Amino acid sequence: MKIVDCPKVTVVIATFNVGRTISSAIESLINQTYPNWECLVIDGGSKDNTIDILKLYKQKESRVDFISEPDNGIYDAFNKGWKKAKGEWILYLGADDFLFPSGIAELMKHSDEADVIYGDCELRFGHSSKIRGNLPITCIKYRLPACHQSFVMKRSVIERLGGFRLQYKVYGDFDLIQRAYIADFNFKETKSVISSFFVGGVSSDNISAEFERCRVMKANKSMTLPELLIIKNICLKMALKLWHIFK
pLDDT tens readout for residues 54-95: 999 999 999 999 999 999 999 999 999 999 999 999 999 999
Q: Do 13 and 37 contact (CB within 8 A), yes or no?
A: no
The reported pLDDT for the residue numbered 230 is: 61
Alpha carbon distance 219, 91 (integer Å)? 24
* Model pLDDT for residues 34-43, shown as the tens digit of each residue: 999 999 999 9
What is the amino acid identity at position 15? T
What contacts 154, CB < 8 A, 6 or more positions away? 88, 89, 90, 115, 116
User: pTM of this prediction?
Assistant: 0.89
The reported pLDDT for the residue numbered 127 is: 81
The reported pLDDT for the residue numbered 240 is: 62
The reported pLDDT for the residue numbered 204 is: 42
For residue 131, count other CB atoms closer than 10 A to its CB.
11
The reported pLDDT for the residue numbered 112 is: 96
The reported pLDDT for the residue numbered 202 is: 41
- The residue ranges of every structural domain in the chain are 3-200, 202-247
Q: Exposed (0-12), middle (13-18) or buried (19+): which is 146, by Cβ within 10 Å?
A: buried
CATH superfamily of 3-200: Spore Coat Polysaccharide Biosynthesis Protein SpsA; Chain A (3.90.550.10)
Question: Could you say which residues of the chain have pLDDT below 70?
Answer: 1-4, 200-205, 224-247
Closest CA to 179 of 161, 156, 153: 161
